[in-house]
């Protein structure tokens, strides 16, 4: 049995620690915040349950569902109703249909020409499906050539890109298509289209997953790690708890923090490792939770998208009161995710003024007039890690590197994809890596 330190108690770190502990190792997790869970947490405020990260499971979340079963949480899974997503087009919401080609053919979201062009992209994706692995996006590195916006426009046209592909992909990316690798955009698109699961969530919120993982682990919250040094004999971790400086020695360490933090924590990284992490960028993101006195005008969707060409600051509106027990009876709850440029422009806006401005935008949609009793503004200094053009080539080089830091493994969504499944999968992979290094 080996002693292993995991630095970071987000979903990636917790999954890694849980897997290692179940394999019989002695694991301790260090977390700088007061509570574990990272961005995948559920919080109760004034009788509302707010999701700090993803509030639902989608078609690509296969490993997440396996872990949920392993943790005995299957009975808490329930299908979200309504199950469809909508896109604003010509003043009304049209269904974003991806599961049925017959229904898509009937959709009023695109013109006949737009549907034909999108169908050609589907054929193109199918012809290269062997290269598209949602858990190993680096397999598609040789297909990289530019950004996803240009690529999808060339393949499917402006209409399909703006009103189907961007609304489908950007909520998962947490970034605009022009800031995303073309090959990664295709990997994600293929995963979303071939997945066979309708949206689901957990009773009590998605934070139940991280709470359950954390419950059986030894976690030191409030422990700020400032240096991790590894050698053939083990790993030395230096950290602070309040004003006290401490250190611990273990057989190995796993670093499960935002990728751009890794170089400062690990001074002995090799050039390949350091170069990979120094290239990672995680721009700020802004989410506004609107706590409503009344349920707004009914919509047959659990979230709706406002395409960028329409000029809204809001990218996606989550109809969160469609989730079980997310809002008090008769009340409404909306989760408003902002476009990247709008998040930067409105970052310093006072909460009430920001929320009121966004409700004015919503009034211009079929949702209509809504009134909020309160706004909870979530300013994330680090949003989802970007997967820009060239990122998969760098990821493949990192995966194939010859000079690896001994007794050190890495986890985080920057290694797989900027969403729940990516973070969780990276934790499973890091657990396997560190055990292999110990053998």
pLDDT at position 105 is: 63
Whether 170 and 186 have beta carbons less than 8 Å apart is answered as no
Separation of alpha carbons 233 and 231, rounded Å:
5
pLDDT < 70 regions, the chain: 99-105
Q: Which residues pair with 255 in a beta bridge?
A: 7, 410
Tokens encoding 148: 């996803």
**The whole model's pTM is what?**
0.96
Q: What is the largest CA-CA distance in the chain?
A: 67
pLDDT at position 196 is: 74
pLDDT at position 103 is: 66
pLDDT at position 307 is: 97
Separation of alpha carbons 108 and 92, rounded Å:
10
The string of pLDDT tens digits covering residues 63-93 is 999 999 999 999 999 999 999 999 999 999 9
Nearest to 303 by CA among 318, 292, 291, 315: 318
């Amino acid at each position: 049995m080996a002693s292993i330190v995991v630095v970071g108690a987000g979903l990636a770190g917790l999954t890694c620690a849980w897997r290692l502990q179940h394999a019989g190792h002695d694991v301790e997790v260090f977390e700088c915040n007061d509570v574990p869970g990272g961005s995948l947490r559920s919080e109760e405020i004034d009788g509302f349950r707010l999701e700090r990260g993803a509030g639902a499971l989608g078609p690509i979340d296969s490993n997440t569902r396996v872990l949920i079963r392993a943790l005995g949480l299957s009975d808490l899974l329930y299908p979200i109703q309504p199950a469809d997503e909508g896109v604003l087009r010509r003043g009304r919401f049209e269904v974003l249909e991806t599961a049925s080609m017959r229904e898509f053919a009937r959709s009023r979201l695109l013109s006949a020409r737009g549907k034909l062009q999108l169908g050609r992209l589907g054929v193109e994706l199918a012809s290269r499906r062997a290269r598209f692995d949602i858990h190993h996006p680096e397999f598609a590195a040789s297909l990289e050539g530019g950004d996803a916006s240009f690529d999808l426009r060339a393949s499917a046209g402006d209409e399909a890109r703006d009103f189907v592909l961007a609304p489908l992909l950007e909520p998962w990316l947490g970034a605009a298509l022009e800031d995303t690798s073309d090959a990664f955009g295709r990997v994600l698109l293929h995963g979303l289209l071939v997945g066979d699961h309708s949206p689901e969530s957990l009773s009590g919120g998605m934070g139940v997953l991280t709470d359950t993982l954390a419950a059986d682990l030894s976690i030191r919250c409030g422990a700020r790690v400032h240096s991790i040094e590894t050698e053939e004999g083990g790993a030395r971790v230096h950290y602070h708890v309040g004003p006290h400086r401490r250190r611990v020695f273990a057989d190995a360490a796993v670093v499960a923090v935002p990728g751009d933090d890794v170089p400062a924590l690990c001074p002995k990284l090799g050039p390949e490792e350091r170069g990979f992490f120094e290239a990672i960028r995680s721009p700020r993101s802004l989410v506004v939770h609107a706590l409503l006195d009344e349920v707004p005008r009914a919509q047959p969707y659990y979230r709706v998208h406002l395409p960028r060409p329409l000029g809204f600051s809001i990218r996606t509106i989550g109809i969160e009161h469609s989730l079980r027990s997310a809002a008090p009876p008769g009340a409404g709850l909306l989760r408003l995710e902002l476009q990247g440029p709008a998040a930067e422009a409105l970052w310093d806006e006072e909460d009430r003024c920001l929320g009121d401005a966004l409700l004015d935008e919503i009034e211009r949609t079929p949702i209509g007039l809504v009134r909020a009793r309160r706004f909870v503004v979530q300013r994330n200094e680090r949003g989802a890690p970007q997967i820009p053009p060239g990122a998969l080539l760098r990821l493949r080089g990192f995966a194939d590197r010859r000079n690896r830091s001994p007794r050190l493994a890495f986890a985080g969504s920057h290694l797989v994809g900027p969403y729940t499944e990516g973070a969780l999968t990276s934790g499973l992979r890091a657990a396997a890596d560190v055990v292999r290094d110990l053998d």
